[in-house]
Amino acid sequence: MRNTGHIIKAALGGLAVSAAVLAMAAPAAAQNTAALEKRIAALEARVQTQEDIEAINKLTRAYGYYIDKQVWSEVTPLFSDDAVVEISGRGVYKGRKGVETLFQKVIGRNHEGLMDGSLSNHMVLQGIVNVDPGGKTASGRWRAFIQIGIYQKAALWAEGPYEITYVKENGVWKFKTMHWFGTYFTPFDQGWAKMSFGNNGPSKDFPPDAPPSIKYDAFPGHFVPPFHYPNPVTGRPWTMEDSRKYSTEGMDPSAAANAPSANSPLAAPAAPRQ
């Protein structure tokens, strides 16, 4: 019995030691678990951000392909109901109705699809997308390189950056605001060395909801639309004052009312479908 008692006491002592060790280890284990869960959450957030960026890239590139063929019925659903859009110097169009008016009536001239003998290539390139904290809004800057033409009548080069904001609605990314700044508009056969057209003005038949938000020069002048992102190395944000510093004023070709290069020949109504 005496040996049995010693064995029981030894066992109880071992249990007490084990309990003490576990008691001391429990907080450390809990801390490790919490740290692991935090790391997993951070990784999941990074993955979600990358998925959001890829969805925004797809949205913006799809827009370019629809614009190519002027399929306006596919363009307008890409925008939120409260979207605000400004293309070149045409003025500001607001809401779903404004988006439809700008693309279908002003740019598309009330025609769905390309006119016979027309070209309207919009290559949307060089995208930089930044998703805001929370993952519900984002900003992007893209460049459009454009070829526009009417067979045996006119051909035009154009180029310029987009500044865009996006919103996620019911898990789907859409355009919230879009502003395209025309850098240059020039005849294909002469190029920018010899002639440049000015920015398009507001439509008289389908006027915008508001005048152009900013007046700026197209080539041979130049304008730096504000970058939505800071310098990726220094972290310095870009300001409107920076844009003014690096831009010209009064050099847009349309500033000369009698200049032969004041307006693009493609601003006239396109030939009807044969």
What is the pTM for the complete model shown?
0.82
pLDDT score of 11:
45
Q: Which domains, ranges and CATH numbers included, belong to the chain?
A: 2-267 (3.10.450.50)
pLDDT score of 70:
96
Which is it for the CA torsion 147, 150, 155, 156, positive or negative?
negative
**CA distances from residue 192 to 32, 157, 217, 226, 247 in whole angstroms, order as listed:** 63, 9, 14, 24, 18
Mean pLDDT of all residues in 219-241 = 97
pLDDT in tens, 183-217: 999 999 999 999 999 888 999 999 999 999 999 99
Do the bridges between strand 172-180 and strand 79-87 make them parallel or antiparallel, or are there none, so unpaired? Answer: parallel
Query: Hey, what are 269's tokens?
Result: 């109504």
Judged against a pLDDT cut of 50, whether residue 63 lies above it is answered with: yes
